[in-house]
Structure 1
Amino acid sequence: MSIATNASGVEFRNVTRRYGQAVAVNDVSFSIRAGDLVTLLGPSGCGKTTTLRMIAGLEMASSGTILIGGKDVTRLPATDRNVTMVFQSYALFPHMTVAENVAYGLVVGGMRKTDAAEKAAAGLDLVGLSGYGQRLPSELSGGQQQRVAVARALVLEPEVLLFDEPLSNLDAKLRRKMRDDIRDLQQTLGLTSVYVTHDQEEALAVSDRIIVMNRSVIAQIGSPTDLYRRPRDRFVADFIGGANLIEAELIGRGDGVAAVRVGHAVLPVPDADVAADLPLGGVLLAVRPNAIRLRAEVGTGNGVPVTVRKATYLGSHMEYGLTSALGDLFAIDTNVVNPVPAGTTVTARFADDGVMVVPR
């Protein structure tokens, strides 16, 4: 027995969720195309998990409209929505075998046990766990338990598959493998998926689009490339990729280049990376840590003198904490053979790529 896909789009229209006087999600609108993986990204308390739970029907919107596959599901309970969720805690029954866990939702839904068992086996095969059906969850690793949780969700053939921080309990190496596996499976099956995380690297790795949330509202929606290269404001610039935010002045634009004064230096920035309606005057220059180049010469050209406050070796790269007249800066350098010692004064130059202008 195979597993069919019933991918449907999701739309929020001016959705708000209140708890008494507290507003968890405030007038949020977005649409998710069928077959896309969209990540809700933001710090703790921003409203992303509440938004996910409203898609699932585990929370009810206080106002606004929620549509799945063009159907208004705003007032439908979770049991009447063809949506499944993969939880952070896996939520496997410890007394059931892996196969019984995967088949559980099918059996409860009225499917014959023989058919449910056949479909569960197909689900386990999809996630690379063929032959593990008779084991107990306690006999599996954390990554394998997560795969069981995914298989259990897939066999229900949902219109939308939801992931609530599914990798937070795994170690760093396994997180990378699991996020790649989830993305590959999602693309192979054409699943509509909504993925919640606070890890920006994870979001960049798995998403077709990212919805960045902050303080109960949407800060920006875009592709991983758009959000990294063209952040709309200082929050997005800092949250996606950890930019250094430097006081600067936009002094001119022309021929596809914006001129930005930083201290005594004037830097060219691609005008495509500058908000079209941003007027000349005070702005913030968002500089990615890997766009800062440390050079031994001091006081020449368009560089900024900096003192290395801290130098940290991390195997594949060096991390530098820098002190300058522009404020404290953070830099990453792949040159680990000849690191710059702490206490050294050098010149910091900014690369052409990885430098953006955002509103002050």
Structure 2
Amino acid sequence: MSIASKAAGVEFRNVSRRYGNTAAVDDVSFTIEAGTLVTLLGPSGCGKTTTLRMIAGLEMASGGTILIGGKDVTRLPATDRNVTMVFQSYALFPHMTVADNVAYGLVVSGVRKRDAAARAAEGLELVGLGGYGQRLPSELSGGQQQRVAVARALVLEPEVLLFDEPLSNLDAKLRRKMRDDIRELQQKLGLTSVYVTHDQEEALAVSDRIIVMNKSVIAQTGTPDELYRRPKNRFVADFIGGANLLDGELVARGGGTATVALGRLTLSVPDTGLPAGEVLLAIRPNAIRLRPGTVGDGSGDGIPVTVRKATYLGSHMEYGLVSEFGDLFVVDPNVANPVPAGAAALATFTGDGIAAVAR
């Protein structure tokens, strides 16, 4: 199959989608490079699905320009765009065999049945379902049905492959496996893929880049690492991976780092260009370590806390802490020596996983 050679980039230039006076997407601009997987991430109602549907041509932009492969497709209907979508519901025909489901789009577009059947078989092999062609969808598991939906999209050899919350109907273990399979297939074939989810972990796992949306606009765009380590605002810091948000004061900058005072402690964080003054410290749960002790007892530096809740989860402990700066949520890999609920302790901070954002 020649899927890789057809990969095309996607560009939005000041694109909006309005319903009356309500903006579902408001003046959004971004570029998706050919052959990459970019995730549209955000809470329900942020505009991510509407954005995806505008790429597909299932929604028409109220303003701005949409380009696919450098071609202006803003006013083209879905039938005139070489784009396919994998839906959340799979949308398989229950009365058709797996092979016929995969070949359906080819047959409808005029491909001879023999050729369509051969390409369907190849598509099923690609997704690990060779030999399943004569089964009905009802005879497959949820994960296998999702693979059929992916194969059906792949055989059409699209310039852009779209995923609309494709894993939301699967259990947690299968969801992890399927996201890895989708990512591996995308990289193997060099597909341009746009992926919509509200699951932050899923987005971090599959993406080359992530576009975080909130309230119809883009909050931040970057690689998973950039978004996690250097969020630009409170929303992104809290939405990507969760963060403890504490009031601090930026007191100095230089050499690519900024010094932030948190009570009597000073912490070094990446310099994101914020001016001196009040800031929010976004502290990841795994950037906090806990040990028994109190300030001044010789056990080391830190902030005094009381353990409100201690939960053992096998590979790590989860703690809810009470501190002078507010409640803290901590993920600590030290399961051999847990600190019990009700105990006084010291919370210290690692050198990674802390960022300063505007208040």
The bucket for the TM-score relative to the shorter chain is: over 0.9
Q: In structure 2, what is the Cα distance between the partners aligned to 1:210 and 1:259?
A: 28
The CA deviation at 1:334 is: 1.2
Residue in 2 that maps onto 1:37: 37
**Maintained 8 Å contact 2:304/2:344:** yes
> Partners of 2:255 and 2:92 in 1: how far apart?
59
Of 266, 271, 276, which aligns to 1:274? 271
Other structure's SS at 1:340 match: coil
- Corresponding letter in the other structure for 1:88: Q
Contact 1:3 1:154 (8 Å CA) reproduced: no
- The equivalent residue for 1:313 is 312
1:71–1:321 distance in 2 versus 1, CA, 3 Å: same
User: Offset at 1:256?
Assistant: 4.0
Q: Which residue of 1 aligns with 2:220?
A: 220
Deviates more, 1:148-157 or 1:317-326: 317-326
Q: Which residue of 2 aligns with 1:245?
A: 245
The two structures, once aligned, show a CA RMSD in angstroms of 1.0
User: Which residue identity does 1:275 align to in structure 2?
Assistant: T
Q: What is the DSSP-based 3-state SS (H/G/I as helix, E as strand, rest coil) of the residue aligned with 1:260?
A: strand
**Which structure 2 residues correspond to residues 1-360 of structure 1 after superposition, within 5 A?**
2-5=1-4, 6-269=6-269, 273-276=270-273, 278-300=274-296, 302-360=301-359
Q: Deviations over 1:88-114 (max 9, x none)?
A: 110000000000000000000011100
Cα distance, 1:348 vs. partner?
A: 0.4
| Alpha-carbon distance, 1:3 to partner | 4.5
Structure 2: runs of 5+ lacking an equivalent: none
> What is the CA distance between 1:254 and its match in structure 2?
3.0
After superposition, what is the alpha-carbon deviation per residue over 1:107-134, rounded to whole angstroms, capped at 9, x for unaligned? 0001110010000000000000000000
Structure 1's 11 and 256: CA in aligned 2 closer, same or farther, altered over 3 A? closer
Structure 1 runs of 4+ with >6 Å offset: none
Measure how far apart 1:255 and its partner are: 3.9
Please give the per-residue CA displacement for 1:195-228, whole angstroms capped at 9, x wherever unaligned: 0000011001100000000000000000011111
SS at match of 1:170: coil
Percent identity between the two aligned chains: 78
Q: 2:107–2:116: 8 Å Cα contact kept in structure 1?
A: yes
Distance verdict in 2 for CA 1:3–1:129, change over 3 Å: farther
TM, length-normalised to structure 1: 0.97
Asked if 1 retains the 8 angstrom alpha-carbon contact of 2:257 and 2:271, the reply is no
> How far 1:263 moved relative to its partner?
1.4
Say if 2:253 and 2:271, in contact at 8 Å, map to a contact too.
no
In the TM superposition, what is the alpha-carbon distance from 1:337 to its structure 2 partner?
A: 2.2
Aligned length: 355
Q: Secondary structure at the match of 2:213?
A: strand
CA distance in 1, matches of 2:260, 2:152: 53
Instruction: State the secondary structure of the residue aligned to 1:299.
Output: coil
Q: Quote how far apart the aligned CAs of 1:345 are.
A: 1.0
Task: Tell me by how many angstroms 1:274 deviates.
Answer: 2.4
- Structure 1 residues 145, 3: closer, same or farther in 2, change over 3 A? farther
The CA distance in 1 between the partners of 2:241 and 2:271, in whole Å, is: 17
In the superposition, the TM-score normalised over structure 2's length comes to 0.97
Please state how far the C-alpha of 1:264 moved relative to its aligned partner: 1.8
Q: Secondary structure at the match of 1:321?
A: strand
Task: Determine helix, strand or coil for the equivalent of 2:23.
Answer: strand
The aligned amino acid for 1:115 is D
Equivalents in 2 of 1:98, 1:29: separation in Å?
39
* Preserved contact between residue 248 and residue 263 of structure 2 (Cα < 8 Å): yes
- Taking the aligned partners of 1:138 and 1:108, their CA distance within structure 2 comes to 23
| Partners of 2:24 and 2:257 in 1: CA distance | 41
- Aligned equivalents of 2:155, 2:311: Cα separation in 1: 47
Moved more, 246-255 or 54-63: 246-255
What is the rounded CA distance, in whole Å, between the counterparts of 1:137 and 1:210 in structure 2? 32
